[in-house]
Amino acid sequence: MFRLPGHSRTLYGLCRSFINQASKRQQSLSTNGPAATSKVAIEPNTSKMSIFSGHIKGSITNTLEFVRPENITPLPIYQVLDPDGAVTDKSHEPDFTNDHLVKMYHDMTLLNVLDRILYESQRQGRISFYMTNFGEEATPIGSAAALNP
């Protein structure tokens, strides 16, 4: 999800509200015929769902409540390896060849070198923005490796 600065969030919310109202109007038109469109008024979005919190389907409340960790059920964490590095479920064990593993390691070291070059270019003003992967090189390489056949 992307962040919208300042008034752009309000504009995004209004656009979402307009789209919801238009789809309601279209559904009413398709079920009741053209005569029903004059009876449909534009209503505010009454879905009680937040669209500003970084997610679309968050509920809205008007009561202030302090949530203590011992009072909530935490979300489960997907885990493939146990703390010792062994695969917990053998059906999830990857079957990479040694050549594929060497290529992944090569790509991680290459990404580190590219990060250094691009970060220095950004600090010198040659490029406007660059976010590094220092310490997280395996994340994009591993995700891409999971997509390859």
pTM of the model: 0.45
The pLDDT, as a whole number, for residue 39 is 46
| Cα 121 from Cα 130, distance rounded (Å) | 9
User: pLDDT at position 15, please?
Assistant: 60
| Res 102: pLDDT | 94
Give the C-alpha separation, 118 to 125, whole Å: 11
What's the pLDDT score for residue 93?
Answer: 82
The contacts of residue 71 (CB under 8 Å, 6+ apart) are: none
**What's the rounded Cα separation, in Å, for the pair 96 and 94?**
6
Strand, helix or coil at 50?
A: strand
Query: What local confidence, expressed as pLDDT, does residue 121 receive?
Result: 93
What residues of the chain score a pLDDT lower than 70? 1-18, 20-59, 148-149
The CA distance from 13 to 21, in Å, is 12
Nearest CA-CA partner of 145 in 112, 111, 109, 105: 105
